[in-house]
Amino acid sequence: MSQVSLKAMQKNQIDRGKMQIQVKNRIQNRPVSGAKITISYKGVPGEALEEVETDRNGQTDFLELPTPPVEYSLQPSEEQPYSEYNVRVDAPGFESVEVSGSELLSGETSIQQIAMEPSQEGKYEDIIIPDHTLWGNYPEKIPEDEIKPIDESGEIVLSRVVIPEYVVVHDGAPADSTAQNYYIRYRDYIKNVASSEIYATWPRETIKANVLAIMSFTLNRVYTEWYRNKGYDFTITSSTAFDHKWIYGRNIFESISQVVDEIFENYLSRPNVRQPILTQYCDGQRVKCPNWMTKLQQHTNTGKPLNTGIPGAFYE
């Protein structure tokens, strides 16, 4: 694209955020040093903004990059509240990887992790990060009972609530047999979903409330063995019609990551009910959901710490 296009892309990019790229060997899970990183705007891939290399820990410095004004993410706006970058990684002996659409918010730090595989002739990985759920169009959640019935049929496999080390994410609708399954650390799954469904610019207590809702929903799926009891071989899906949005290869925001690390063993429950609540919610703006939580409600109720919008809910 022309320089005019680049200037147009920068028109609303008046704030700054920080991005760090972390590169590892997918096979050995070791850092890849000396990897060449090229960063460009998603809409202007031919114009490099930054060209850096990873250090011996497989990391770059924290790079300051333009973003839209923070106000766009603090209230409903017709302007996209985050900038999107392409991140290309080249390293000797490894397949090249390009991530398209890595998100950056004003004043926030984004960690973009990239796993590289030893080179095989002709192979190349292109990871595309779709729109954030608060900006893009995704299917509405299909309503379910928030407490699943427990009977004598043996459908409930677990006798107590267990925080799993890993979950198996089916990257599509439950019946889509072509969708791939991914084994993901539970904490990493929650960080990915939270970064996909809320904005890291929101107040810390708001982030906590949303993370609690995401964890409670996920742990209900784990506790009830919901999908395995239907004959599937996974824990949860990436479809917003059934579960939460998980995005393969997306960046994680540091502020959200810190909250998850702080409270990852918690969940929401009700008195005299063992299982975590299936905490369903919607954005509260484009989609209305009476008697459910909304992400908009979570954000605007900043004066009420951990206001989940669920009557009678409490921490475990």
Q: Are the C-beta atoms of 256 and 199 separated by less than 8 Å?
A: no
Query: For residue range 225-273, what is the model confidence (pLDDT) as tens digits?
Result: 999 999 999 999 999 999 999 999 999 999 999 999 999 999 998 888 8
What is the domain extent for residue 190? 166-315
Same structural domain, 95 and 221:
no
Give per-10-residue mean pLDDT for the chain (316 aa).
56 92 96 98 92 98 97 93 98 96 98 94 88 95 86 58 96 98 98 97 95 96 94 97 98 98 93 90 59 52 44 48
177 and 90 in a single domain? The answer is no
Q: What is the CATH number of the domain that holds 30?
A: 2.60.40.1120
Measured in degrees and rounded to the nearest 5, phi and psi for residue 225 equal 50, 45
pTM: 0.89
- Number of domain units in the chain: 2
Give the up-direction half-sphere exposure of residue 8: CA atoms within 13 A in the CB hemisphere: 8
137 located within any domain: no
The pLDDT of residue 4: 47
Do 170 and 311 sit in the same domain of this protein? yes
Residue 207 lies in a domain: yes
Residue 111, phi then psi, degrees to nearest 5: -110, 115
Q: Are residues 106 and 175 in the same domain?
A: no
Let me know if residue 67 belongs to a domain: yes
Residue 152 lies in a domain: no
Q: Are residues 190 and 295 in the same domain?
A: yes
159 domain residue, yes or no:
no
pLDDT in the model for residue 283: 59
Question: Do 84 and 176 reside in the same domain of the chain?
Answer: no
pLDDT of amino acid 266: 94
Look up residue 231 and give its amino acid. Answer: G
Q: Flag whether 275 is in a domain.
A: yes
Q: Show which of 112, 128, 144 is a domain's final residue.
A: 128
With vertex at residue 261, the alpha carbon angle to CA 64 and CA 272, rounded to the nearest 5 degrees, is: 145
**Residue 4 domain-assigned (yes or no):** no
Instruction: Please check whether residues 83 and 188 belong to one and the same domain.
Output: no
Q: Are residues 172 and 294 in the same domain?
A: yes
Residues 254 and 122 in one domain: no
The answer to whether residue 141 sits within a structural domain is no
Structure-token pair, residue 154: 């043996």
